[in-house]
Copies of this chain bind each other. A is one copy, B any other.
């Protein structure tokens, strides 16, 4: 559920309230500061993921805050400005901001930009990982028994014939989750976490039905690919072990 912590730096109290409520509804934790000094203190205080920074603050130029933030945290910085000025925008980005947003803006847009910025950060992390590690942690294609799971295409192929089986996205994600933890029993709860993004009011046995639907498509006589572990959940058994 927790998607990240956001610090909003702005001296407009009303705006702060609106932002907080909206973003909290989105699943973020939100903290606010009304001025520069308070914000700097907060940055030292703990892990932040995104900083929303208004350039016009009562106690000093917001622009100079950007490099200071950059020094102390790896959080993404989204500048919120009253002016729609191309030069200022470029300057902000040049100084280390990650995005620039002009007031007034819609909450939906703010939310989208935060999401985009977080994703970009995540991608960077992943890329760095790939560079340092010789083996990529998440493979795009995963072979299992007579099939291949293609995570880029969201498809399952039959190895020999090469034909693709018609999996729905939901079925695919469940199978993917199981295959990524081979020979390990996963509870229905865990599987829910892995496949659905923050849903709660669902039927206990939705997973069971999904499993049944997958099995119907992944037929392999005596071999039970998706084993049910009574009282626990389900498990993908790979022959290698």
Chain A interface (Cβ < 8 Å from any Cβ of B): 63-64, 67, 86-87, 90-91, 94-95, 98-99, 106, 108-109, 111-113, 115-117, 119-120, 152-154, 168-170, 183-185, 189, 193, 198, 200-201, 229-232, 235
Cα distance A64–B111 in the bound complex, in angstroms: 13
Task: Give the Cβ gap from A2 to chain B, nearest Cβ, in Å.
Answer: 20
Q: Which residues of B contact A185 (CB under 8 A)?
A: 152-154
Among the listed B86, B87, B120, B193, which residue makes an inter-chain contact with A86, where contact means beta carbons less than 8 Å apart? B120
A to B CB contacts below 8 Å, 13 in the list: A67-B106, A87-B98, A87-B113, A87-B117, A90-B119, A91-B112, A94-B112, A95-B109, A108-B201, A112-B200, A113-B200, A153-B183, A153-B235
Q: Are A91 and B113 in contact (CB under 8 A)?
A: yes
Q: Are A152 and B200 in contact (CB under 8 A)?
A: no
Q: How many copies does the complex hold?
A: 2
Among the listed B86, B91, B112, B231, which residue makes an inter-chain contact with A109, where contact means beta carbons less than 8 Å apart? B91
Q: Which residues of B contact A91 (CB under 8 A)?
A: 109, 112-113, 116
Among the listed B90, B109, B115, B169, which residue makes an inter-chain contact with A115, where contact means beta carbons less than 8 Å apart? B90
Q: Which residues of B contact A198 (CB under 8 A)?
A: 99
Q: Which residues of B contact A201 (CB under 8 A)?
A: 106, 108-109
Among the listed B87, B106, B183, which residue makes an inter-chain contact with A64, where contact means beta carbons less than 8 Å apart? B106
**Assuming the A-B contacts A94-B115, A200-B108, A201-B106, are A87 and B63 also in contact, with contact meaning beta carbons closer than 8 angstroms in the complex?**
no
Task: Give the Cβ gap from A42 to chain B, nearest Cβ, in Å.
Answer: 22
Q: Are B154 and A120 in contact (CB under 8 A)?
A: no
Q: Which residues of B contact A67 (CB under 8 A)?
A: 106, 108
Cα distance A113–B88 in the bound complex, in angstroms: 8
Per CB-CB distance, the 5 closest pairs between chain A and chain B, nearest first, are A94-B112, A90-B116, A169-B231, A152-B184, A109-B200
